[in-house]
Structure 1
Amino acid sequence: MSNTSPALRQRNWFGHPPGLTVLFLTEMWEMFSFFGMRALLVYYMTKRLDLHQEAASLIYGAYAALVYFTPVFGGVVADRWLGKRKAVIIGGATMALGHFMMASEALFYPALATIALGNGLFLPSLASQIEGLYREGDPRSKSAYNVYYVGVNLGAFLAPFVCGSLGEAYGWHWGFAAAGIGMLLSLVIYVAGSRYLPAETIRISGPAIPARAPLDRSAMQRLLFLIGIAAIVVVFRGAYEQVGNTIALWADEGVNRHVTATWSIPMTWFQALDPLLVFIATPLLLARWSRLAKRGIETPWLHKMAFGATTVGVSYLLLALVAAWSEAHGTHAHWAWLAGWFVLMTLGELYILPVGLGLFGHMAPDGFRATCIAIWFFAGFFGNLLAGVLGTLWSGLSHGWFFAMIGAVAGLAATLLYVVGLRAGYSEKLPGAGLTTLPSG
């Protein structure tokens, strides 16, 4: 039975409970701050702090990994002690502080750690409130995570144009400050709209008492299954997370960004393509999947995710050919090739990342939803560590061979997802499998 209040059930904004709009806008501005800082990070380290590329890639990977590591503990803290609402507020305030600390070069490393720590409380606690907005069996819940994912990418789209442009044109610290302002807006929106969010179980002061049922055998099987999927997603993220690392470096040094004789596309702007394409493609894909679902066409969760990983792998292999040809002819690749790569890569992303988030949200055992969402994000911890280690090979390999290697990494993840999906037969056996958010392949 849902704990959604009658007030939440009676109102609708844009076809969904108003709380989804609040969570959408809160996450949009949080992503604005995160991706605004990320668009500048590698360039800031190599151009301002004069770090070598290998060191910059490792630091980038370690920071991005920490961002995905802290939600594991933050989700547990939110579920058992603080509650989701307090966790979001404390986490958001901490992240805003970290973004403003980036204005000082002396506080560079403490600032990264502060942002990551705040994110640990914020990220799982926000996303895990989606399920509580809907009555049990409400068909709108099937698309709620995809709508939420659009908010994620809308903020990520705006960030490079604002933070990236300010950083490139007026100084890196101006871009970081803009990211901090975005985080403050996120916090204000969440607090102002908190009355539209699900009520939480009141926690008794004193020693923590878990307000949830113990894990039975079925719940434990689901939890172990999700942990296994997260392990495979680690491999995929080793390839996917190159977007803000070596892809950003290639946009600077391997791409002809000239559009006219007097104007070139700023290098940070390419980071806006992925979220823009997600924003445009998501409603189109949802409409197509809805039509197929009405015809009874269903594709298992992991097969969808495997298709996405395969598509990302193919995109890197095609980019490898472009980079190899450009190097062989002593020229720079036209910027349109990079834009085309983003189109193909984003298509693959839409089949794996929102699908995985929805899978973890729907299959989470009762009382462990924030923890399971945190496990999903925890895959990003090891994935970003892997991406950072792979990024250190950028300077030692030709660009063509490097991208071919990354394509093989994505291909490995796709193979594992297909194999596990075939062997497990999970779409028929596991509870919650019929609640897929993306009903087609």
Structure 2
Amino acid sequence: MNNPSKGTFLGHPKGLFLLFGTELWERFSYYGMRAVLVLYLTAQTTQGGLGWNQADALKLYGIYTGLVYITPLIGGWLADTFLGQRRAIIIGAILMAAGQFTLALPHSMFPDSVNTMFYLGLAGLIIGNGLFKPNISTMVGDLYEEGDHRRDGAFTIFYMGINLGALIAGFVAGAAANAYGWQAAFVAAGLGMLLSLVLQTTMAPSFLGNIGKEPAAKRAAAAGNQKKAPLTKQEVDRIKVILTLGLFTIIFWAGFEQAGGLMSLYTEQYTNRMIGSFEVPTAWFQSLNPFFIITLAPVIAAIWVKMGKREPSSPVKFAMGLLFLALGFLFMIGAVLEQGGDNAVKTSMFWLIGAYLFHTLGELCLSPIGLSMVTKLAPLRLASLMMGAWFGFVALANYAAGFIGSFVGESGAMAIFGGIAIAATISAAILLLMSNRLIYWMHGAEGKAVAEEEKGKLETSAV
């Protein structure tokens, strides 16, 4: 038995709020660094940057963020098989803190090895994140017994922690970089990672009990002596749902992640960021998404509750997310049209605000639902591995985002923004057509009544 923390807070185990805080400061670290990465790469060496061209910077951004999300596949397997989730998280946090502080080292310390130290810092962040990311999410699910109706609400709270960290990060990293240089932003990100590590090491024994101590494979074997048993048909069907929806998340995140790359450069170069005599730092726009999540998440959650039995299924929510993404890029198309082909024209920042608003609505329909879905559908002995696989889809999307953005010099922003909007709309239509079959494959994970209803529809259509 996992023996989670004694007592509850706001109706949830106290361990949830420890994981909330641990993830908040880790996401502060990640998003603080991400907010300035492309700007740092493209800044002139005389301004403390690396002096890269835009295409190379966006490709590196895609490779980095892609690896950040593919390594959880390995980290999840290591935790499930050998380390246990808690040990994997601590090792990952140490590596990420080391990576941030390596990036923060002044160029003058290694004048002939600036790029080498930069890549070493990125390597620490990539490997550390692979150990940290899938296991913190899986532990949230482990706080609840199967069928506990509080699980989706727990992931909404957990997701608020992610975005509170991201909200603070954009402001802090942007202000630090503007006032003290790029290295100051990396120092701030490193300090955030240390806070995350301290929280986890000092408070986990009291708030998490035995959760995450033993590898999942060992717990599964002890529970049913089925370590090497083949997957059941129900387990296979549920894994098919995870993998199928994972393919559609690639489309979503490939568009969404333009925020840290192409949209960031567009903001820097072509957006009128003046409010009176004050110019809004480009990195601050990265905080719009988490701000909207924090303010809109309770509203969206209340809407789902109000709808009751009419609440959309997970596949339909995913399709809604893709449609909101497409609407967001219509605002970016509006910005390009206002620019009218004249690079000297600065466009209104309200186009960006509208784009981030609709992208956030899409994220709320897709991302927390996906995390919760994986913990519901994945077999216990593969829990962290399947969470890692889920982040693997996000990895492919992040790489695709950087690759797509790098064509801005050849194709132009209009072609990229418009192409993403069209691809998202078509993907949403396909997913809606598949939704009944996916619900059937869930075998009751969406609610027994819904599953039986969809099963009846499928059987009728097959006659």
- The answer, yes or no, to whether TM exceeds 0.5 is yes
- 1:430–1:136 Cα change, 3 Å: closer
Partner of 2:333: 320
Matched AA of 1:263: F
The 8 Å contact of residues 67 and 120 in structure 1, kept in 2 or not, is answered as yes
The Cα of 1:307 is off from its aligned counterpart by 0.6
Please say which of residues 297-306 and 100-109 is displaced more in the overlay: 100-109
Aligned partner (choices 401, 406, 411) of residue 425 of structure 2? 411
Unpaired runs of 5+ in structure 2? 44-48, 106-113, 450-463
Matched AA of 2:256: Y
RMSD: 2.0
Matched AA of 1:314: L
The Cα of 1:203 is off from its aligned counterpart by 5.5
Q: How far, CA to CA, are the matches of 1:210 and 1:18 in structure 2?
A: 23
The Cα of 1:402 is off from its aligned counterpart by 2.4
The Cα of 1:15 is off from its aligned counterpart by 2.3
Matches within 5 A, 1:396-435: 396-422=410-436, 424-426=437-439, 430-434=443-447
- Between Structure 1 and Structure 2, which shows a larger proportion of helix residues? 2
Q: How far, CA to CA, are the matches of 1:352 and 1:344 in structure 2?
A: 13
- 1:271–1:425 Cα change, 3 Å: closer
Moved over 6 A (4+): none
Partner of 2:39: 43
Q: How far, CA to CA, are the matches of 2:430 and 2:210 in structure 1?
A: 39
Aligned partner (choices 384, 387, 392) of residue 398 of structure 2? 384
Partner of 1:14: 10
- 1:326–1:426 Cα change, 3 Å: same
Q: What is the CA deviation profile of residues 243-284 of structure 1, one whole-angstrom value per residue up to 9, with x for unaligned ones?
A: 100010011011000110x21111110000000110111111
Matches within 5 A, 1:224-303: 224-260=240-276, 262-293=277-308, 296-303=309-316
Partner of 1:439: none
Q: How far, CA to CA, are the matches of 1:357 and 1:300 in structure 2?
A: 15
Aligned partner (choices 151, 156, 180) of residue 170 of structure 1? 180
Secondary structure at 1:21's aligned position in 2?
helix
Aligned partner (choices 375, 383, 392) of residue 369 of structure 1? 383
Q: What is the CA deviation profile of residues 150-186 of structure 1, one whole-angstrom value per residue up to 9, with x for unaligned ones?
A: 1000000000111121012211001001100000000
The 8 Å contact of residues 301 and 427 in structure 1, kept in 2 or not, is answered as no
Q: How far, CA to CA, are the matches of 2:138 and 2:448 in structure 1?
A: 16
The Cα of 1:427 is off from its aligned counterpart by 5.1
Please give the TM-score of this superposition, normalised by the length of structure 1: 0.92
- 1:178–1:19 Cα change, 3 Å: same
Identity among equivalent positions (%) equals 33
Secondary structure at 1:49's aligned position in 2?
coil
Secondary structure at 1:138's aligned position in 2?
coil
Count how many residue pairs are aligned between Structure 1 and Structure 2: 425
Q: How far, CA to CA, are the matches of 1:239 and 1:167 in structure 2?
A: 27
Q: How far, CA to CA, are the matches of 1:192 and 1:210 in structure 2?
A: 24
2:171 corresponds to 1:161: yes
Matches within 5 A, 1:99-110: 99-104=100-105, 105-106=114-115, 107-110=117-120
Matched AA of 1:138: D
Secondary structure at 1:299's aligned position in 2?
coil
